[in-house]
Structure 1
Amino acid sequence: MCAIFNFQSLLTVILLLICTCAYIRSLTPSLLDRNKTGLLGIFWNCTQIGERKSPYVAVCCIVMAFSILFIQ
């Protein structure tokens, strides 16, 4: 089933996007800071969420991993 139609898969993709963008910005900040607006601004917004709300994102990743490993 496609990740768009499965809610749990959609949440997993969003969490992975947030974590990946935050990690890429920690390695090369200029790569994502250039594109703060437009379509590529989505990645910059994900970076901001990952950096500012990192404890909440980490808890969500742990809960999602637990649900994928033990509930599915």
Structure 2
Amino acid sequence: MTNVYSFDGILVFGLLFICTCAYLKKVPRLNSWLLSEKKGVWGVFYKAAVIGTRLHVAVALSCLCTAFYIVFLK
């Protein structure tokens, strides 16, 4: 079980947030509603979706490495 206040928890939260926003970018209704703003607080969702789509290989490898670390090494 990861703790939110540890580095592992922040890393897992960040990766899941990026993956979720990249997935929501593929859904047309949610894309126009949630990811339409590019500035401000709502711009964080847009920027995470852009990171997830452009760096999908690096994000996927980071998810696999984090999962391996949490399951087997921690």
Give TM-score scaled by structure 2 length: 0.87
Structure 2 residues without counterparts, runs of 5 or longer: none
Q: Measure how far apart 1:34 and its partner are.
A: 1.6
Aligned to 1:33: 35
In the alignment, is the contact (CA less than 8 A) between 1:21 and 1:44 conserved in 2? Answer: yes
Contact 1:21-1:43 within 8 A present in 2 as well: yes
- The alignment's C-alpha RMSD in Å is 1.4
Cα offset, 1:32, TM superposition:
3.3
- The alignment of Structure 1 onto Structure 2 pairs a total of residues equal to 71
- Structure 1: runs of 5+ lacking an equivalent: none
In structure 1, the residue corresponding to 2:52 is in which secondary structure? helix
Structure 2 residue aligned with 1:57:
59
Whether the 8 Å CA contact 2:37–2:46 is kept in 1: the answer is yes
